[in-house]
Amino acid sequence: MNLMKAVLVKIIHLAFFLSVSLHAELQIIKKQNTDSNTTLLVIAGIHGNEPGSYFAGSILATHYTIKSKNLWIVPNLNKDSIRDNERGINGDMNRKFSIIKKNDKDKDTVEDIKKLILSKNVSLVLNLHDGHGFYREDFQGNIFNPNAWGQTCVIDQCKLKEDQPFGNLNEIASLVKINVNKRLLQEHHAFNVRNTKTKYEDEQMQLSLTYFTVTNNKPAFAIESSKNLSSLSQKVYYQLLAIEEFMKIMDISFNKSFALTEESIKKIIHEYGILEINKNISLNLSHIKKSLSYIPINSSGNEFNFSHPLGHIKNIKGTRVVYIGNKRITALKPQYFNISNECPKNIEINIDGKRNIVDSAKEFYVNDDFNIIRKDNLRVNVIGFTAKGVSNESGITIHRDSINQKFSLDIHQKMYRVEFYKDNKFCSMSVVHFK
């Protein structure tokens, strides 16, 4: 097989993910090869207060390359519950896979994920969770006991039909357990297999996603990192470690852009990516201030696109609050403008004495100073810079120390807004980033 055939077949808006208000629209990221039908489906975020699940799913989506077989990822199944850091704002979604009421607000999402699970290409399903405590077969205290769910590979039964690929659930889970336990961060993090024997012993689990899957003769496992681990990065570490073991078992070849260590994961978790608004504003979210005012947008019908799979917008009394997963990143207080349809896509700028052409809605880097080349009918406003008696700040050489630092976009006071207007209508916003 030619490994160069590996392609990412569905990323909404190329490298960006569209934030919409529709509950039922699943975000499905497919990384696959055209000549294989073996597919691992990873579902994250069925419970909104289990961040190890959905941050692992997002890193899997953005930092892994699949070289053989296929990987499908749903990184944020229960979007609004993730944003609100609640198990389920409409009740427990993982108890709605047997019977669900017609008027249940989760119905469309549940029905859509069922259809995806039953897709003929899906070979094995992983449902990611964070569970309380550390599972042990014998009672060893309030945290270490048989009633705990954390640090487990959960199965509903030992095996499926004899001819079902990957149907020996207990054997696979036991192999994952052995290999995960070779790379523990601390000894008490030991991973185990928990067989709920759902058909005979657990009525609640009979309502779950994994049991729905196995009753349709498809292999399914739940991966549970412990809520009692000391950090989110540890939870994500064990999730990814287990997922990698499943990919090896399924002969899914992969590369990743980082070393699987707690420190690397901690760094990635704090990379919040880019928010693009209406294709004419681009904001780097990683070090953004907690609140920004006078953001020029439409009064309605705005489009928000994130490079991060967990990006989400909530409109709270007109303020657009930005989330990455359950993390509140910033609040954008708008100033409403009419948007011009006759704006240049590129701007000429003298940067440190050299002429450059830059995208009018992107970031540009400066050491000492910049000067926006004057263009007919285009007004420039550098937020935080003031020149007495000047309404158009193009044609002026602007140094870093001539901009008021309180108007910076970021906590390090390196990034500032450069806004463009035509005929009193808003065109676009660039960001000057001082090195």
As a 3-state breakdown, the chain gives helix, strand, coil percent values, each rounded to 5, of: 25, 35, 45
Question: Which one of 299, 317, 336 terminates a domain?
Answer: 336
The residue-averaged pLDDT of 287-303 equals 96
pLDDT above 80: residue 16: no
Residues 251 and 282 both lie in one domain: no
Average pLDDT over residues 344-367: 96
Residue 149 burial (C-beta neighbours within 10 Å; 0-12, 13-18, 19+): buried
Whole-angstrom distance, CA of residue 255 vs CA of residue 306:
24
Among residues 228, 248, 269, the one where a domain terminates is 269
Mean pLDDT, the chain, rounded, equals 93
Tell whether 278 and 252 lie within a shared domain: no
CB 131 within 8 A of CB 148: yes
Q: Strand (E) positions, 108-233?
A: 122-131, 134-135, 144-145, 152-155, 192-195, 220-226
Name the DSSP letter for residue 134: E
Mark which of 336, 354, 370 sits at the end of a domain. 336
Q: What angle do CA 173, 176, 182 make, to 5 degrees?
A: 145
pLDDT band for 17, please (50, 70, 90 cuts).
low
Alpha carbon 361 to its chain centroid, in Å, reads: 23
* Domain enclosing residue 216, as ranges: 3-269
Is beta strand 378-382 parallel, antiparallel or unpaired with respect to 415-422?
A: antiparallel
Domain membership flag for residue 102: yes
Same domain for 130 and 232, yes or no, is yes
Same domain, 100 and 239: yes
Residue 113 neighbours by CB under 8 Å, 6+ apart: 26, 43, 74, 77, 209
- Residues 371, 320: one domain? no
175 lies in some domain:
yes
The answer to whether residue 341 is domain-embedded is no
Q: What is the pLDDT of residue 188?
A: 98
- In this prediction, residue 18 has a pLDDT band, given cuts at 50, 70 and 90, of low
Going from the C-alpha of 253 to that of each of 33, 69, 130, 180, 233, the distances in angstroms are 11, 7, 26, 18, 24
Tens digit of pLDDT for each residue in 62-105?
Answer: 999 999 999 999 999 999 999 999 999 999 999 999 999 999 99
